[in-house]
Amino acid sequence: MSRRRDRIGPGLLGLVSPIVVLCIWELASRLGWTNPVLLPSPSQVIAALFALMASGAIVSPLVHTVGLFAVGYGLAVPIGTGIGIAMATSRTLYGLLEPLVEIVRPIPKPALVPVLFLFLGIGKATMITLVVLAAVFPVLISTFQGVRGLDPVLLETARTLQVSRARTIVSVILPASLPMVLAGMRVALGIGLVLVILAEMLAGEDGIGFRILDLERSFQIRDMFAWIVVLVALGGVLTKLFDIAERRLVPWRGRS
Amino acid sequence: MSQRLGFDRVSKVFEGTGDDADFVAFDDITLEAAPSEFLAVVGPSGCGKSTLLRMAAGLMDPTRGQIVLDGRPVVEPPPGVIYLFQQYAKSLFAWRTVIDNVMFPVESAPRARRGELRAQCRDYLRQVGLGGFEDKYPWQLSGGMQQRVAIARALAADPQVLLLDEPFSAVDALTRMELQTLVLQLWERRKFTAILVTHDVEEAIFLADRIAVLGARPTSLREVIDVGLPRPRDQFATREDPRFLKLRHHITTTLLTGNDGHVASA
């Protein structure tokens, strides 16, 4: 009995609260409790969203945001994994890099925006650097801890089987710490997206972040909300894709 | 081909940290396994039997003395000396299929030989009774089957010396007997030198040519016993042989008593 309730549980139950909020919002809007200029009703937002999609105006900013995110995240993941493994497997590299990492890591990355403006100008280079800086540390730290936490038996197995250091890293250490690398990548995914939007707001000429701010300033509030919906959907899709990839990449997680 | 592996006056001291005193794990152990010999080392729990094997595998340096493999001192893990871990699940690669686990030691071979090696690895899997499980993942198999995968992988690495670190202590009693018989068959076929560390006296007698009995801390060699039971051995005939029972009595008594012949207090 309770088993059955569990099965329909999270998926459907999770829909209840957003629907309730939307209904209250719609009702409040229709009854004139809220200022329709500042807070359009959900149905108006959805209408704006459909118009956005129908006109094709959705494509360019979406491509801009996804592209920027892909480049930044795509750079941060190999850099973070590489440095994480290097620091975890080499005493020398750990000694060299640890202080630098610990100095840069705690800095709230938006604080670096003015610095980046000075050195890289207002544009793509700044935006990508910002995303990389934000996304690289969760991957790096998680990878480092993953490698350090590997069971010695695994590494000793590789040693006694005469596997070279390079091959041990590629075919034992990397796959064995993959669950932790992915955990870091999951955190980096969220942070990366936040920083993409922030970067577009501050330095973009296109993109979802740029649109949201631009529409707010030109008082096209319905369209602004429509873009926020697009952003929520984008976050959801990326997370879902990540879940699928993770399940395929580490099917043994929690089982060995 | 198999190799001679010896411990030459080996001592191991673990340095204490802070207020802890240094801990002498072994004191002056000299012991040798002849080529193709099956040597067992038995001792009470916590006497550091695994440390002995880890030193033999080149995974740990002795504090004094040396490990000698065919006349050469061991400093790094030597090729052909293969370690079978008690924690088989941690020793297998979860992201690889069974066949790819077995292929691991031979993967750096030239591409042209890949097909031949793969066929050979399939044969090793058949030899350990895992034909048909090539494409499963280790975590889809039972504990006993996982240790069989590790054994097949050891075979693929062409062992001259096989070090067995309580390899059957984590499986149930029936599986343990099956694995013991399997290891004996493989040993008789391949004639590698085998050193088994175990706390199971019967297992040692059943498998080994000679048994080294270790005493309590600091661990030293109490006695080396020739088993002398006929081969091939059989789980029933061998274990019911009066000589088997006599050996069991003798070794167990030795383990339970101190050097002066009295039963040691706990």
Question: What is the pLDDT, as a whole number, of residue B25?
Answer: 80
Reported as a single tens digit per residue, the pLDDT across B12-33 is: 888 877 777 777 788 888 999 9
Question: What is the pLDDT, as a whole number, of residue A8?
Answer: 57
pLDDT tens for the 256 residues of chain A, in order: 445 555 556 678 888 999 999 999 999 988 988 888 889 999 999 999 999 999 999 999 999 999 999 999 999 999 999 999 999 999 999 999 999 999 999 999 999 999 999 999 999 999 999 999 999 999 999 999 999 999 999 999 999 999 999 999 999 999 999 999 999 999 999 999 999 999 999 988 999 999 999 999 999 999 999 999 999 999 999 999 999 999 999 988 766 5
Question: What is the pLDDT, as a whole number, of residue B258?
Answer: 59
Give the chain B residue nearest A178 (alpha carbons).
B95
Q: Which residue has the tokens 């060299």?
A: A96
Which CATH number is associated with domain A39-249? 1.10.3720.10
| Cα–Cα distance list, B21 to A208, B13, B15 (Å) | 65, 10, 7
Chain A: give the shortest CA distance to residue B81, in Å. 7
Spell out the SS3 assignment of chain A. CHHHHHHHHHHHHHHHHHHHHHHHHHHHHHCCCCCCCCCCCHHHHHHHHHHHHHHCCCHHHHHHHHHHHHHHHHHHHHHHHHHHHHHHHCHHHHHHHHHHHHHHCCCCHHHHHHHHHHHHCCCHHHHHHHHHHHHHHHHHHHHHHHHHCCCHHHHHHHHHCCCCHHHHHHHHHHHHCHHHHHHHHHHHHHHHHHHHHHHHHHHCCCCHHHHHHHHHHCCCHHHHHHHHHHHHHHHHHHHHHHHHHHHHHCCCCCCC
User: Dihedral, CA atoms, B164, B170, B173, B176, nearest 10 degrees?
Assistant: -30
Question: What is the pLDDT, as a whole number, of residue A135?
Answer: 97
In this prediction the pTM is 0.86
Reported as a single tens digit per residue, the pLDDT across B149-166 is: 999 999 999 999 999 999
Question: What is the pLDDT, as a whole number, of residue A91?
Answer: 95
Which secondary-structure segment (H or E) carries B67? strand B64-69
How far is Cα B37 from Cα B41, in angstroms, rounded to an integer?
Answer: 13
pLDDT tens for the 266 residues of chain B, in order: 578 999 999 988 888 777 777 777 888 889 999 999 999 999 887 777 888 999 999 999 999 999 999 989 999 999 999 999 988 889 999 999 999 999 999 988 888 899 999 999 999 999 999 999 999 999 999 999 999 999 999 999 999 999 999 999 888 999 999 999 999 999 999 999 999 999 899 999 999 999 999 887 677 888 999 999 999 999 999 999 999 999 999 999 998 885 444 454 43
Which pair of structure tokens corresponds to residue A33?
Answer: 């409790």
**A172, B137: Cβ pair inside 8 Å?**
no
Closest partner residue to B108 (CB to CB) among A154, A157, A167 is A167
Q: What single-letter amino acid sits at A245?
A: A
Residues 6+ apart with CB under 8 A from A225: A40, A45, A48
Chain B: give the shortest CA distance to residue A157, in Å. 6
Which secondary-structure segment (H or E) carries B38? strand B38-42
Give the chain A residue nearest B153 (alpha carbons).
A161
Query: What are the domain boundaries of chain A?
Result: 39-249
Question: What is the pLDDT, as a whole number, of residue B22?
Answer: 79
**B59, A156: Cβ pair inside 8 Å?**
yes
Query: What are the domain boundaries of chain B?
Result: 92-158
**A153, B90: Cβ pair inside 8 Å?**
yes
Instruction: Note whether A193 and A207 are within 8 A (CB).
Output: no
Question: What is the pLDDT, as a whole number, of residue A10?
Answer: 66
| Chain B residues in contact with A176 (beta carbon < 8 A) | 93-95
Which pair of structure tokens corresponds to residue B185?
Answer: 């068959």
Instruction: Note whether B146 and B89 are within 8 A (CB).
Output: yes
Q: In this structure, are strands B5-14 and B64-69 parallel, antiparallel, or unpaired?
A: antiparallel
Return the half-sphere exposure (C-beta side, CA atoms, 13 A cut-off) of residue B43: 27
Q: Which of A184, A191, A230, A212 is nearest to A110 (CA)?
A: A191
- Can the peptide bond before residue B218 be classed as cis, meaning omega within 30 degrees of 0? yes
As to burial, measured by CB atoms within 10 angstroms (0-12 exposed, 13-18 middle, 19+ buried), residue B186 is buried
Question: What is the pLDDT, as a whole number, of residue B261?
Answer: 47
**B94, A256: Cβ pair inside 8 Å?**
yes
Question: What is the pLDDT, as a whole number, of residue B265?
Answer: 44
